[in-house]
Copies of this chain bind each other. A is one copy, B any other.
Amino acid sequence: MELHVAFLPAEAGDCRGRAVAVIDVIRATTSLLVMAERGCDGVVIAPTLEAARAFRAGHPDVLLAGEQGGRAPQGFDFGNSPAAFARADLAGRRVVFATTNGTRALHFARGAPVVLIACLRNRSAAARVLMDEAARGGLDITLICSGREGRFGLDDAYTAGAIVDAILRTASPAPVLTDAAAAARVLFEAYPDAGTLLPTTWAGRNVIEIGLEADLAVCAELDRSVVVPRIGERVRLLNE
């Protein structure tokens, strides 16, 4: 079994025959996980704010979430803030969530029989589901990092490394690591913890600049959840 990391979505290549986890740790995949932790009944991922607004117009019971300059746009119930979702009661509610970056990464995962939402909070659980699915279906594994504006994001690469690390500690036989998977693991091992690293990354600095530093603490928590949202189940793409 091959274990690969795409540091940017465009590097993912052909995902048929691969179990995939999509990572946008600051903040989209952390937000999606926290929504699930809070009992959210389902999330529809929309590629743009306009698409999310249009979906809500047709489904007035749905909560509207998304970001513009990092914050909730006018008329939205939520931004893309894991800390805000963590305080919300979402039991039985549905959310439409506009995330450009996340949508892009998910687009490149198309063709994969399994697409999971991963971040630091669920990294061991995500690693376990990836291994189970790979073993059952004879699949290879790809971790797709979202990056930021077409550039490598250290936050996502570190998170991919955390998942590689969890897989290597439990998989038998050990998977074959691509160069990128080996590099991701080195990055994970190089930093003492995510709480130290995330505020120094480009994505982390942007979140601090807009006054949402509390989000980083939620993004940095390792192995706090056993929930692993799956595309096509609790989370679906608009127009799927």
A binding-site residues for B, Cβ under 8 Å: 4-5, 7-8, 10-11, 13, 148, 150-155, 157, 178-180, 182-183, 186-187, 189-190, 200-202
Contact = CB atoms under 8 A, between A and B. Distances in A.
A35 to B, nearest CB: 26
Contact of A152 (B153, B154, B180, B189): B180
A18 to B, nearest CB: 14
Contacts of A152: 5, 7, 11, 178-180, 183
A102 to B, nearest CB: 18
B187 A183 contact: yes
Contacts of A178: 151-152, 202
Contact of A157 (B5, B148, B183): B183
A150 B186 contact: no
A4 B10 CA distance: 19
Contact of A150 (B5, B13, B189): B13
Given A178-B202, A183-B183, 15 more contacts: A7-B152, A11-B150, A148-B179, A151-B178, A151-B180, A152-B179, A154-B179, A154-B183, A155-B179, A157-B179, A157-B183, A182-B200, A183-B187, A186-B187, A186-B190
